[in-house]
C-alpha cells in the first residue's frame, strides 16, 4: 500500500517531538515536510526544535519551514512551564546542522496542496492552528484538496489544561481553530479526553530507555521532563503523550474510538475562551463536523510507538 502523504504542523514541545519521531519511523506515512508554528515556545525555538528532532531521527532530508510567529489576532501565549525554556528540555541534543527552508510554512502548505493530487495530503496538526488557518484564508482553493485534518486539540470531559475551560492549542489561537473546524475538511480531533489516557507510566518510560538507541533514550528523557506538570496538576502516573496520538491515528486508526459530532470553539467569552464545545450527546442539532476521539487502546499505542522508535538511530 502506498504511504499516506502528510504535512506535520507543530510547535515542539517534547510530545510533538515524539509524534514526529513516530511518523519518521513508520513506512505507512510519507512526511512531505514539517511546518513550525509558535506555541509551546516562540517560533525561533519551535523551528529549531523541529530540525533537531529530524536529525535525531537521522532524517536531515525532511524539509522544515518556519510559519506564523503569533496567533491571528491575539498575543502569543507560550508554555515554558510545561516544556522548559527551550521547549525540548530533558535530553541534551546537538544543535541542528540542517538549514531551515527559505519558504514560509504557509507558502509550503499552499504550494504542496496545489501540487499534490487532490485528496492525497493529510494535515497532522500538533500545535495552535495559525499556519493552517492562514493558508486556508490566503488560498481557499486548497481547502477542498485536503484529504483529512488530524488535530491534537480541545477537550470535553477533561475540560481545560491552560484555563479551567480550554486546552492549550485551541486557547492560543481560537480564531484559527474556528476557521479550521468550520472549513468542511474531514477532521479528526485528538482531545485531552483521549490523550490523558496515553500516559507514559514508569514501565513504559523504562521500555523507551531500554531500546538503548539515541531515539529511545532521548524519548525517555523528554517524557521524564515534561511529566512534571501533569503529575503535579492531575496526579497523573506519567506524561500524557498528546501529539503522538495524531501520528499514531494516521498509522493505526483502529487503536482509537470516538464519535462524529459537532465541535465548535468559543472565541468571544473571556471566561471560556478557546473552549471546544463538543456535542458528545447530540443535543444541539448542529451539523457534525469532526470525529472527536474519546478512547484508545493504550497498550497497543505504546507497543506501536516503542517498536517504531526502535527502528530509528
Give the other-Cβ count within 10 Å of 218's Cβ.
Answer: 27
# residues near ligand RIB by CB under 6 A: 15
Binding segment toward Ca ion, per CB under 5 A, in 24-32, 120-128, 226-234, 303-311: 120-128
Say which entry of ligand RIB, Ca ion, none residue 193 contacts (CB below 5 to 8 A, set by partner kind): none
- Least distance from Ca ion to the Cβ atom of residue 12, Å: 7
Give CA angle at 92 (313, 220), nearest 5°.
60
Q: Are 82 and 229 in contact (CB under 8 A)?
A: yes
Q: Among residues 11, 173, 193, 264, which is the contact residue for ligand RIB, using CB under 6 A? A: 11
- What whole-number distance in Å separates Cα of residue 210 and Cα of residue 82? 25
Which one from 81, 83, 242, 254 is the annotated catalytic residue?
A: 242
Does 127 participate in binding Ca ion (rule CB under 5 A)? Answer: yes
- Least distance from Ca ion to the Cβ atom of residue 40, Å: 6
- What whole-number distance in Å separates Cα of residue 286 and Cα of residue 295? 23
Residues 230-269 that bind Ca ion (CB under 5 A): 243
Residue 242 known to be catalytic: yes
- Least distance from ligand RIB to the Cβ atom of residue 165, Å: 13
Q: Among residues 8, 13, 52, 291, which is the contact residue for ligand RIB, using CB under 6 A? A: 13
Q: Among residues 161, 183, 188, 267, which is the contact residue for ligand RIB, using CB under 6 A? A: 161
Say which entry of ligand RIB, Ca ion, none residue 181 contacts (CB below 5 to 8 A, set by partner kind): none
- Least distance from Ca ion to the Cβ atom of residue 246, Å: 9
Does 18 participate in binding Ca ion (rule CB under 5 A)? Answer: no
Say which entry of ligand RIB, Ca ion, none residue 264 contacts (CB below 5 to 8 A, set by partner kind): none
Say which entry of ligand RIB, Ca ion, none residue 168 contacts (CB below 5 to 8 A, set by partner kind): ligand RIB
Q: Among residues 26, 35, 40, 276, which is the contact residue for ligand RIB, using CB under 6 A? A: 40
What residues line the site for ligand RIB (CB under 6 A)?
Answer: 11, 13, 15-16, 39-40, 126-127, 152, 161, 167-169, 242-243
User: What amino acid positions are annotated as catalytic residues?
Assistant: 242
Amino acid at each position: 500500500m502506498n504511504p499516506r502523504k502528510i504535512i506535520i504542523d507543530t510547535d515542539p514541545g517534547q510530545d510533538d517531538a515524539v509524534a514526529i519521531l513516530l511518523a519518521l519511523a513508520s513506512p505507512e506515512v510519507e512526511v512531505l515536510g514539517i511546518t513550525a508554528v509558535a506555541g509551546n515556545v516562540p517560533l525561533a525555538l519551535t523551528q529549531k526544535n523541529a530540525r533537531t528532532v529530524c536529525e535525531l531521527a537521522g532524517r536531515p532530508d525532511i524539509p522544515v519551514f518556519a510559519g506564523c510567529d503569533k496567533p491571528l489576532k491575539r498575543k502569543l501565549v507560550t508554555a515554558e512551564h510545561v516544556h522548559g525554556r527551550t521547549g525540548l528540555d530533558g535530553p541534551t541534543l546537538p544543535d541542528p546542522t540542517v538549514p531551515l527552508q527559505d519558504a514560509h510554512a504557509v507558502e509550503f502548505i499552499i504550494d504542496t496542496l496545489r501540487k499534490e493530487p487532490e485528496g492525497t495530503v493529510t494535515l497532522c496538526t500538533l500545535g495552535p492552528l495559525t499556519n493552517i488557518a492562514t493558508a486556508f484564508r490566503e488560498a481557499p482553493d486548497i481547502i477542498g484538496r485536503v484529504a483529512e485534518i488530524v488535530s491534537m486539540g480541545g477537550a470535553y470531559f477533561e475540560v481545560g489544561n491552560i484555563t479551567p475551560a480550554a486546552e492549550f492549542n485551541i486557547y492560543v489561537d481560537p480564531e484559527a481553530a474556528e476557521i479550521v473546524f468550520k472549513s468542511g475538511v474531514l477532521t479528526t480531533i485528538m482531545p485531552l479526553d483521549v490523550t490523558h489516557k496515553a500516559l507514559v507510566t514508569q514501565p513504559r518510560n523504562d521500555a523507551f530507555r531500554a531500546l538503548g538507541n539515541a531515539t529511545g533514550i532521548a524519548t525517555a528523557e523528554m517524557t521524564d521532563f515534561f511529566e512534571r506538570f501533569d503529575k503535579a496538576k492531575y496526579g497523573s502516573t506519567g506524561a500524557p503523550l498528546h501529539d503522538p496520538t495524531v501520528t499514531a491515528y494516521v498509522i493505526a486508526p483502529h487503536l482509537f474510538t470516538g464519535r462524529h459530532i459537532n465541535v465548535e470553539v468559543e472565541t468571544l467569552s473571556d471566561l471560556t475562551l478557546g473552549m471546544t464545545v463538543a456535542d458528545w450527546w447530540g443535543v444541539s442539532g448542529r451539523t457534525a463536523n469532526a470525529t472527536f476521539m474519546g478512547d484508545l487502546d493504550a497498550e497497543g499505542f505504546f507497543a506501536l510507538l516503542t517498536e517504531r522508535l526502535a527502528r530509528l538511530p
